[in-house]
Amino acid sequence: MKKQVSAQGIPLALYALMAGAFGIGTTEFVIMGLLPEVSRDLQVSIPMAGLLISGYALGVAVGAPVMSILMAKFSRKNSLLWLMGIFTLGNLICAIAPDYTTLMIARVITSFAHGTFFGIGAVVATSLVPKDKRALAIALMFTGLTVANVVGVPAGTWLGQMLGWRSTFWAVTMIGPVALAALYFLVPGDHHAEKVAVKAEINALLQPQVIAGLLLTIIADTGLFAILTYVAPILTDVAHFSSTAVSPVFLLFGVGMVIGNIIGAKLADINLDKTLIGALIFIIAILASFSLFSHNQIAVISLVGLLGVAGFAMVPSLQIKILEKASGAPTLASAMNIGAFNVGNAAGAWVGGLVISHGLGLISIGWIAACIVFVGLILAVVEMRLVSNRPHSTPA
């Protein structure tokens, strides 16, 4: 199939990947705003309902390598179609789930498509553009995820609150056929399966630079989500906003994600390493500022928006870095990096909860989170210097 492009010269396949990313991003995060409704309807506690979020995140981490290996015998286009089919089926089961156990199983089924879709999607996206536009291509795909937080999650939350939580999953299920059609008609066909042995893929993943990249993703996201998970109580209990102000402030975070994603991609295409280091320093400064200025309402609103910018400014750099270092297993490594993001999400929520449970208070989370990301900054600098000092290394 000939590569189709828009009037702006953007491959139309990127819009198909964006549609899939929008659906996956919506189904991952929309449950956060529907926990009370799910809790009441299925007669479980709020913490039990909250495990639907943890179950999804862990499903992504486990499903990424498993599904990547299973999909290796298919072409990348067919793999994307299969994964979007799993996404659609999982959300359909969520919509009709008669009890909590079924809903949890359905969430895990849905999550299995997540990491590998983004992993394969990143490889496909970079194959559609020149080398100096790879980060921008990945950012365009991830724009679907960021737009999901700006539009899909608030809309899904509102729909679930008005018509019941099942209506949200019915709506998300409908995204599946649309994304499937877009992927089928717009993504160029690669008429062969990847001829890469599982052992070769695993060996590629075990390279020190790949391990360091995955570890950096986990560390950076742990710090980010340590504060992000508890932004709502920081807004209400520290900055003394009303609970009705929380949703608009989170919308600002979503807008920041979109801006950071595009800016980070453009800068990464110019200089990958400097962009990553700059984004990490930016994140550290913002996280520390939460501990300094959370009592000030104007400051904390600004910090939430900047957190979205900083957090997603590093995403294209991290994804490209993994693709470069694991050239022998780009699909598996890319999917594993998405899994690493979700491990960091879960770890960040745990760290923030640990800080609170030990009596250090919400204000202290910012300092702890900044220290965690500082460790990631040191790791990134050391890895870059080791690579640059190798006599036969190729600059990133």
Q: Which CATH superfamily is domain 196-390 in?
A: MFS general substrate transporter like domains (1.20.1250.20)
Residue 2 has what DSSP assignment?
A: P
Residues of the chain with pLDDT > 70: what percent? 91
Between vectors from CA 151 to CA 146 and to CA 152, what angle results, nearest 5°?
85
Give residue 19's pLDDT. 92
pLDDT at position 395 over 60: no
Task: Provide the token pair at 364.
Answer: 């202290």
Average pLDDT, stretch 215-237?
Answer: 87
The model's pLDDT over 302-321, given as tens digits with 9 standing for 90+, comes to 999 999 899 888 888 888 88
Residue 358 or 222, more confident: 222
SS3 content of the chain, % helix, strand, coil (to 5): 85, 0, 15
First to last CA, the chain: 31
351: tokens are 């760290």
Angle between helices 330-357 and 198-205 (to 10 degrees): 50
Distance CA 152, CA 30 (A): 8
- Contact status, residue 71 vs residue 116, Cβ threshold 8 Å: yes
Give yes or no for residue 169 having a pLDDT over 90. yes
Q: Which whole number is the average pLDDT over 224-251?
A: 82
Reported as a single tens digit per residue, the pLDDT across 347-357 is 887 888 888 88
Global pTM?
A: 0.76
In the DSSP assignment, the letter for residue 191 is -
Contact 43, 21 (CB under 8 A): no
Q: Which residue's structure tokens are 């022998």?
A: 328
Q: What CA–CA distance (Å, rounded) separates 113 from 77? A: 14
* H/E stretch holding 253: helix 246-270
The average pLDDT across 160-174 equals 92
Q: Residue ranges per domain, the chain?
A: 11-193, 196-390
Which superfamily does 11-193 belong to? MFS general substrate transporter like domains (1.20.1250.20)
Coil vs helix vs strand at 11: strand
Query: Do 114 and 60 contact (CB within 8 A), yes or no?
Result: yes
Q: Do 11-193 and 196-390 share a fold?
A: yes
Query: What percent of the chain shows pLDDT beyond 90?
Result: 31
Structure confidence by residue, pLDDT tens digits, 17-72: 999 999 998 998 788 778 778 888 999 887 688 778 878 888 888 888 888 888 87
Contacts of 344 (CB under 8 A, 6+ apart): 217, 218, 219, 220, 221, 222, 224, 225
Token reading at 214: 């995955």
Q: What local confidence, expressed as pLDDT, does residue 368 receive?
A: 95
Alpha-carbon gap, residue 387 to 75, rounded angstroms: 33
